[in-house]
Chain A
Amino acid sequence: DTGVSQNPRHKITKRGQNVTFRCDPISEHNRLYWYRQTLGQGPEFLTYFQNEAQLEKSRLLSDRFSAERPKGSFSTLEIQRTEQGDSAMYLCASSLGQGMMNTEAFFGQGTRLTVV
């Protein structure tokens, strides 16, 4: 296992189109996170899964965004009707968690979305 893998690395889409990103976490990690990072800013939390259950969603996650982790392994993040403001780096991270605390989260290399 070489770490957290994200596909695609880059995506350019026209405004109004739907896009889907995939994240494959480290295999034994039960927790998976999605973050969004805009230029010059730190990552902002979007949502979090423990196994297949989506346990937290940020206010940033509008109804155009949906995330799934159907079998508790890989996850997808879909953005419908993309807007130019959605242009950002989308980062996925995974960790091994017990109770309320985690080991460190390991991040993928991200998917850079450009909406034109």
Chain B
Amino acid sequence: AQKITQTQPGMFVQEKEAVTLDCTYDTSDPSYGLFWYKQPSSGEMIFLIYQGSYDQQNATEGRYSLNFQKARKSANLVISASQLGDSAMYFCAMIQRQAGTALIFGKGTTLSVSS
């Protein structure tokens, strides 16, 4: 069963606009963590933001915020004021306490920012 679902294969946005990348997850483990990573064409995975299942507030890191809706099992990434350098592949990932320590990744969303 797919644990992490990213339904948008590609998203297009203009500079300075905000964009939301969708992520839904499936787990019966009450203790889990959700991550977003950015993968530019160079290949490295860059950590962006983390949300723990017990965190009361939505996580924010600069222009990145995570819209965590626990009941809906969604963890959407919001990028405010998009920049050309934001063009990349974005992956949502989950770690489950009971299942060990390996990150499970979604299939990713390609974000293209145009001027």
Choose the segment among A67-75, A77-85, A103-111 that binds chain B (4+ C-beta atoms closer than 8 Å): A103-111
Please tell me the number of chain B residues within 8 Å of chain A, measured between CB atoms: 26
Give B49 Cβ to nearest chain A Cβ, in Å: 9
Q: Which residues on B sit within 8 Å (CB–CB) of A50?
A: 101
State A41–B108 Cα separation when bound (angstroms): 7
A-side interface residues toward B, CB under 8 Å?
Answer: 31, 33, 35, 40-45, 48, 50, 55-56, 58, 89, 91, 93, 97, 100-102, 104-110, 112
Q: Which of A102, A104, A107 contacts B101 (CB 8 A)?
A: A102
With A104-B50, A110-B44 given, is the CB distance from A42 to B97 under 8 Å? no
Bound together, the chains give a CA A100 to CA B50 distance in angstroms of: 16
B43 and A101 contacting across the interface, CB-CB below 8 Å: no
Kindly name the residue among B4, B50, B103 whose own CB sees the greatest number of chain A CB atoms within 10 A.
B103
Are B102 and A45 interface neighbours, CB within 8 A?
Answer: yes
Residue contact A44 to B105, C-beta cutoff 8 Å: yes
Residue in B31, B33, B91 whose beta carbon sits within 8 Å of that of A42 in the complex: B91
| Cβ–Cβ < 8 Å partners of B12 in chain A | none
CA of A25 to CA of B45 in the docked complex: distance in angstroms?
14
Q: CA separation between A110 and B37, bound complex, in Å?
A: 15
In angstroms, Cα B91 to Cα A109, docked, is: 15
Q: Are A105 and B103 in contact (CB under 8 A)?
A: yes
